[in-house]
């Protein structure tokens, strides 16, 4: 039986709040065994872009990333945010190692082709994107890799890549080597039947129920790409996929995805 590997993706709402981030990282430090962290930071990046006079542009949950936007999100995700998460884990005794996709060629992406929309410097991942050998070596030494949303194309170009997609791709790529648990952690208690009612957490969702809830508009906005990535991971052999509150990872309330 292969070892359990837990991958935690943490989103913008929590990352931008120092107290909440600290609480999440303290809880994460108590999770035993090999683990990895993927962080977003989209909300903070949009604020920083606005402060610098650049209007953020999102289409279907993805940021249109021109050259100026790429410079700023690289500084924000791969710099400030990544190092803050790493320092927070070190504070709690976790030997964390911050990585962009370019470091150790750990995640190689390709620039999204221009179709109806030109997303600019946005990276898409495929089944060959993840350097699984390097990750197994790092995990084997007891390090906890911490990924930001910046990848590269192997030709010197950095690319901005949705953090939920990175988490799902890492989980899928590592599924042949570990029993992978993928945790999408954010500010709600799970997938809600009514987004205005925190107590309406749906404990389990099948792909069929997801399609129905999406068609009724119950699941919308950033939750759609998150669940698309989550179900793709489950279908590709990831053992367990969970949507939960970043501040309640040790509590039973959460949404667990089911294969059928």
Ligand X SMILES: Nc1ncnc2c1ncn2[C@@H]1O[C@H](COP(=O)(O)OP(=O)(O)O)[C@@H](O)[C@H]1O
- Does residue 88 belong to the site contacting ligand X2W (CB under 6 A)? no
**The pair of three-digit structure tokens given for residue 240, joined into one six-digit string:** 């367990």
Q: What character string, x for contact with ligand X (CB under 6 A) and - otherwise, covers 40-79?
A: x-x-------------------------------------
- Which residue has the CB atom at the shortest distance from ligand X2W? 40
Q: How many residues bind ligand X2W (CB under 6 A)?
A: 16
* Closest distance to ligand X2W from the beta carbon of 101 (Å): 12
Q: Are 63 and 69 in contact (CB under 8 A)?
A: yes
Cβ closest to ligand X2W, residue 84 vs residue 162:
162
- Within a 13 Å sphere around the CA of 226, how many CA atoms are in the beta-carbon half? 23
Cβ closest to ligand X2W, residue 51 vs residue 215:
51
- Does residue 162 belong to the site contacting ligand X2W (CB under 6 A)? yes
Q: Which range in 83-91, 158-166, 169-177, 211-219 contacts ligand X2W by CB under 6 A? A: 158-166
Q: How many residues bind ligand X (CB under 6 A)?
A: 19
Among 180, 219, 230, 257, binds ligand X (CB under 6 A): 219
Query: Could you tell which of ligand X2W, ligand X, none binds residue 26, using a CB distance below 5 to 8 A set by kind?
Result: none
Query: Could you tell which of ligand X, ligand X2W, none binds residue 191, using a CB distance below 5 to 8 A set by kind?
Result: ligand X
Among 160, 168, 229, 255, binds ligand X2W (CB under 6 A): 160
Among 42, 98, 101, 120, binds ligand X2W (CB under 6 A): 42
């Amino acid at each position: 039986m292969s070892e359990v590997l837990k991958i935690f993706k943490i989103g913008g709402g929590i990352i931008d709040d120092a107290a909440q981030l600290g609480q999440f990282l303290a809880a994460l430090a108590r999770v035993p065994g090999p683990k990895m962290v993927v962080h977003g930071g989209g909300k903070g990046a949009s604020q920083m872009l606005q402060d610098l006079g650049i209007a953020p542009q999102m289409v279907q949950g993805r940021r249109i990333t021109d050259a100026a936007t790429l410079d700023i999100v690289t500084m924000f995700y791969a710099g400030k945010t990544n190092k803050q998460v790493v320092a927070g884990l070190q504070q709690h005794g976790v030997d964390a190692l911050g990585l962009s996709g370019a470091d150790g060629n750990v995640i190689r992406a390709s620039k999204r082709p221009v179709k109806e929309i030109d997303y600019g410097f946005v990276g898409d991942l495929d089944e060959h994107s993840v350097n699984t050998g390097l990750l197994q070596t790092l995990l084997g030494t007891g390090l906890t890799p911490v990924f930001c949303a910046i990848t590269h194309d192997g030709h010197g170009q950095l690319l901005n890549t949705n953090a939920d997609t990175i988490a799902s791709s890492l989980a899928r790529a590592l599924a042949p080597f570990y029993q992978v648990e993928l945790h999408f952690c954010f500010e709600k208690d799970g997938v809600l039947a009514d987004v205005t009612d925190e107590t309406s957490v749906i404990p389990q969702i099948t792909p069929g129920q997801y399609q129905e809830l999406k068609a009724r508009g119950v699941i919308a906005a950033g939750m759609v790409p998150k669940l698309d990535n989550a179900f793709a991971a489950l279908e590709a052999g990831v053992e367990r996929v969970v949507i939960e509150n970043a501040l309640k990872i040790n509590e039973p309330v959460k949404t667990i995805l089911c294969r059928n």
